[in-house]
Amino acid sequence: MNDRTDVDTMPKLTGKISPDRIRLMRTPRPPEGLIEKLKSISDATSVVADVMDELGITGAIGASVLKPTLPNASIVGPALTVRNLMQREHVYETARLHVNRMAEFEAHNLALPGDVVVIDGVEGISNMGGISAQTGKRQGEAGAIVSGGVRDVGHSRRADYPMWATEITPVTGKWRIETVEINGDIQIAGIRVSPGDIVVADETGVCFIPAARAEEVAERALAKANFEIEKCLAIDAGTAVADLPSKE
């Protein structure tokens, strides 16, 4: 059921997707201070992946699968999800008739500052390009995660909009892709992602933290990160290997 509260404050829809395909008009917001806590952790995906293992939570994907387009980029934010499928018609017909059913711009339209657009996309085809990335940057999004192709990488870099994608391709999706759902459950590299789940991404990979476990994961991750800082300080101080801190 769509969230229709505060109708007067809701953005005007673009018409690229039927309103009944938008499951939530606003991405669920994380608890206060949670995003800042995770942002304070260096090499956050490695720390978070360890904590998720300890808690029996799946959700870590390496940068060899979801490759960052911006070096040294790191983001944390709630997931605004998009699901794409191939259009049924042949691309030559849709291109000739200019039939464009992509609607990731509707996700930008609905985005709140700090949101991360997460696209369950189509392989071998661009699910997000440079103008889309520039629009996401203007909307205050943290970045995007795309299972599928992206293009115009130079444009998105100039816009300082980080993306993690499984592929880079010049092949446009606008005559090939249909966006069938926004803010519903999706699958990214075998991981289920729901709107409002917390995305942590850096040059090592991407972690999707279920919203219901996010506070627990963040607390444990911060404690683990602080322990690792203590251990690194001991290494720099010349502490013998046998005497380094060994319990977290």
Binding residues for Mg(2+), by number, are: 152
Cβ atoms of 138 and 117 closer than 8 Å: no
Binding residue ranges for substrate? 151
Binding residue ranges? 151-152
164: which 2 tokens? 């993690």
Cβ atoms of 103 and 84 closer than 8 Å: no
- Of 45, 43, 65, the C-alpha closest to 209 is 45
Cβ atoms of 206 and 45 closer than 8 Å: yes
3-state secondary structure of 20: helix
Single-letter code of the amino acid located at 196: G
Q: Give the separation between CA 192 and CA 247, rounded to whole angstroms.
A: 32
**E-only strand ranges, the chain:** 60-62, 67-68, 75-86, 116-120, 143-150, 163-168, 177-182, 186-188, 191-193, 198-202, 205-209
